[in-house]
Every structure is written in C-alpha cells, then in structure tokens.
Structure 1
Amino acid sequence: MFHLRGHHLLCLLGYRGMGYSAEYTENMTRLHSTLRMHPETQVELVAGPDDLCRHFPDDQPYHCEERTVHERDTAVLERMGLKPGDRLPWRTLEDRLATAFIPGDIPRLCSTCPWLGYGVCEDGVRRLRRGEGLYPVQASGAAGEGRSGA
C-alpha cells in the first residue's frame, strides 16, 4: 500500500521520469510504475507529507508543509469526494480523477506549482480521460536534469 496526499494524485498523471534528485526520481518512478502495472494496488490518502515527500532532497527548500500545498491537497480530494484516511485501489482513483478533472483545471488548481509550465499534468489528465492510464516511464539516468512531474 502507498500513502499519497491529494495533489500527488495529479502529479502522478504528469510524471515523465525526472524530478528533484536521483533518489526522489527513483522513488517516484518505482511508485508510478507499480501503480501503472498493478492498478489494484491500494492507496491510502493522507493529509500532509507522504511516500513521495519522504524522498524530497535535503539540499532544496522543503515545500511539503507549505500552506498552498495543503490547500491543493484539500481541493483535489474534495473535488473527488474523498478525504484523508480513505483507502482505494489506484484503478478506482484513476476513474475518479478522470471524472473529476479536465485539463483546464490544472492551471487553476496548481497555479503555484513549479512544474506547471511543462504542461505534462494537463496531458496526463487528457490521457486518463481517454482511458489510457498513466504515461509509461522508463527508469532513466536523467534524474534531476530538468523538471517534469511532481
């Protein structure tokens, strides 16, 4: 079972294999690939730092406790009719995400996100709404080079 905060559900849709550091990217790729290949995997929704935040690099400003991040989590979960403590298979979360969000929601919900300018989350929502699931991501040596995804 994975523990995820609300806005990371959207980040997973946009993830393309790069991130804040090699350790962060390795962890996110492992989690993302598990959900993609095994959509029955259980996810427990949490308020605050989750299985992705635990791997955020020490040498960068830690934003996982910022007010805007918590507000984004709350907005995502409310839109999906969920709350911290709920446990669902990833497949069910994908269905709810596809129903609750359109690509145009991302710029409004994620206006303070440093990844917004890449457009990958909007693409991920489009993909999900077409029934295509998570974008296939290969483990890469390019971790930390550029930003894409959570």
Structure 2
Amino acid sequence: MTVRLRAHHLLCMLTFVGEGYTSAFTANYRRIAERLTEGEQIELVSGPDDICAPLLDEAEPHCVKASVIERDAAALADVASLIGEEIEPGAVLVPDANLLAKLRRNFASGEIRRACNGCEWRDLCSRIAAGNFASVLVGHP
C-alpha cells in the first residue's frame, strides 16, 4: 500500500508530534505516521489526501481552499528543487532515513519553508525544528 500525500504534507510530516485540528484528525495522522515510519511509500496527489480525510465532512473544509492549493505548489517546487528532479502528482517517494534527514535539514534551515507562510502551525513547526525534531512521529531524526 501507499500513503497518499499532497505536496505540503511532505513538510508537515517532518514535524508531526501528535497535535492536530480534531481528535479524529490526530488519530488518523498517527496511523499514517506509523505507516510512513515503517517505510510505506508516498504517492503524491493533487488536492485532499489521506491526512485530510477526517476533515472532508466539514461544511467548508480548508483542504480545498485556494490557499492550500498554493501551499502545495510552493512545497512541490521546493522539494523538487531539493531532490534535484521534477516531481508531480503520481510520483512515488520512499520516506527512508536519507530522504527524511535531507528534508529535515533543509526545513530547519528555512530552505523549503515557503509553503509554511501563513500557516497556523508555523510557530509550532519552527519550535520542533529548532529542537532537532525531538518527539516527531514520522521516522527518526
């Protein structure tokens, strides 16, 4: 199986420590974090993904708003530049130790954080990155 992720969630997964929008969202994200830590592949998707699933029943889920789609575009461009290859929806990535370390290093330095501009979780993620990604639930920093 693969975990379906939108591009900006490639960044969010780096700092996930178990906090989220709702208890259902957090429980779902914890299960996804376990799958990613076990090495399950990531399929990039356009629009709502496996992490978004618990929020899609809301009257106006933020997962489909233009600002989130813009966040995806910024993350996709930054990650593609970092790994040195074009990636787009349908691409498959393996969240191994090397990829996670490279993403975390460049996230912490700010190199791949354009997608974080305006995000309500930005300060939390910045603190987690500054703390060397202690207690994250995806992979091992």
Please classify the TM superposition score into its range, dividing by the shorter chain length: 0.7 to 0.9
Whether the 8 Å CA contact 2:30–2:137 is kept in 1: the answer is: no
Amino acid at match of 1:15: F
* Mapping for residues 12-27 of structure 1, pairs under 5 Å: 12-27=13-28
Aligned partner of 1:48 in structure 2 is: 47
Q: Does the residue aligned with 1:14 lie in a helix, a strand or coil? A: coil
| Structure 1 gap ranges (5+) | 138-150
CA RMSD for the aligned pairs? Answer: 2.8
- What TM-score comes out, normalization by structure 1 length? 0.71
Aligned partner of 2:119 in structure 1 is: 113
| Structure 2 gap ranges (5+) | 81-86
Q: How many residues align?
A: 130
Whether the 8 Å CA contact 1:10–1:121 is kept in 2: the answer is: no
Structure 1 CA distance for aligned equivalents of residues 123 and 104 of structure 2: 21
Q: 1:136 to 1:49 in 2, by over 3 A?
A: closer
- What TM-score comes out, normalization by structure 2 length? 0.75
Structure 2 CA distance for aligned equivalents of residues 88 and 43 of structure 1: 5
Aligned partner of 2:93 in structure 1 is: 88
Percent identity for Structure 1 against Structure 2: 35
Structure 1 CA distance for aligned equivalents of residues 63 and 78 of structure 2: 21
More RCO (CA 8 Å, sep 6+): 1
